[in-house]
Amino acid sequence: MENLCKNYVIAIDGEAGTGKSTLAKNIAKKYGIVYMDTGAMYRCVTLDMINNSVELTQIDKITELLDKIDIEMTNEDGEDKFYLNGEDVTRKIREKQVNDLVSQVSHIPVVRERMVDLQRKLAKGKKIVMEGRDIGTNVFPNAEVKIYLTASAEERANRRFLQNKEKGIDIPYEDIYNNVVFRDNNDKSSNVAPLKKAEDAFELDTTNYTLEEVEDIVIRKVKEKIQLDV
Ligand code: DC
């Protein structure tokens, strides 16, 4: 087995709604390694633009914001928290106004460039599980472990529908399904870092698996590549 005790990157990429976040968080918690949610970073940039009334086409203003943006990620009593320029934005970055805009913001080249730099900097000297869309292809093409999760659009829409129901959010299944398909096309057809599986990634279709089953399969795969401390 390689990489005994060395620093490493476990890259988890894939479509929205495949359970990437839960999986990455659980691996991090179980093995005491750092978890990084790169989607949340794009969400912070989006919120910063909204807060400063900066439009998608105002590249100079976006660059100015990026020059002074301060994104901090912490874990407080087991909860991941995000701070944007000193303000706790953990909840705000999940709200509708950010949801509606973040995909477009994440496709702006200067945003992508800066966030990828930051992700590489933050990971330096660490054992880390990083979750996103382009981690295994672009951010860490030499990551020690690469996982790529998929699931059918119907199953992902169904998972989101049930999550919403639990939270008392009433959106018809049909609307959710259409949004899932729209986002897939958007993510995969982008000119800037389109979502695609790295050639050397382990691909897992999670459609017919529970979260626990996915975790077991992935952890087994990770252990073939690196030593996970207990
Ligand atoms: O995973 P999420 O829904 O929080 O991601 C928010 C948006 O950011 C989503 O539209 C995909 C995009 N994203 C990206 O382009 N690259 C990443 N590494 C992570 C997220």
SS3 assignment for 110-164: HHHHHHHHHHHHHHCCCEEEEEECCHHHHHCCCCCEEEEEECCHHHHHHHHHHHH
What's the CA-to-centroid distance between 5 and ligand 1, angstroms? 30
Contact between 138 and 122 under an 8 Å Cβ cutoff? The reply is no
Contact between 1 and 119 under an 8 Å Cβ cutoff? The reply is no
Residue 145: closest CA among 15, 18, 19, 24: 24
pLDDT (tens digit per residue) in 103-143? 899 999 999 999 999 999 999 999 999 999 999 999 999 99
Ligand 1 site, residue 102, Cβ cutoff 6 A = yes
pLDDT at 140: 97
Ligand 1 site, residue 38, Cβ cutoff 6 A = yes
Which amino acid, one-letter code, is at 10?
Answer: I
Which DSSP letter does residue 92 get? G
Task: Supply the pTM of this predicted model.
Answer: 0.92
pLDDT at 78: 81
Cα dihedral sign, 163-166-171-172:
positive
Pocket test for ligand 1, best of 21, 56, 133 (most atoms within 8 A of CB): 133
Distance from chain centroid for Cα 168:
25
pLDDT at 230: 61
Rounded Cα distance between 156 and 130, Å, is 21
Which DSSP letter does residue 93 get? G
Q: What band does 207 get if pLDDT is binned at 50, 70 and 90?
A: very high
pLDDT at 114: 97
- Per 3-state DSSP, the chain is made up of helix, strand and coil in percentages (nearest 5) of 50, 20, 30
Taking 90 as the threshold, does the pLDDT of residue 2 lie above it?
A: no
Rounded Cα distance between 57 and 123, Å, is 30
* Domains defined along the chain, listed by start: 1-33+127-225 (3.40.50.300), 39-125 (3.40.50.300)
Which DSSP letter does residue 83 get? E
Which amino acid, one-letter code, is at 97?
Answer: Q
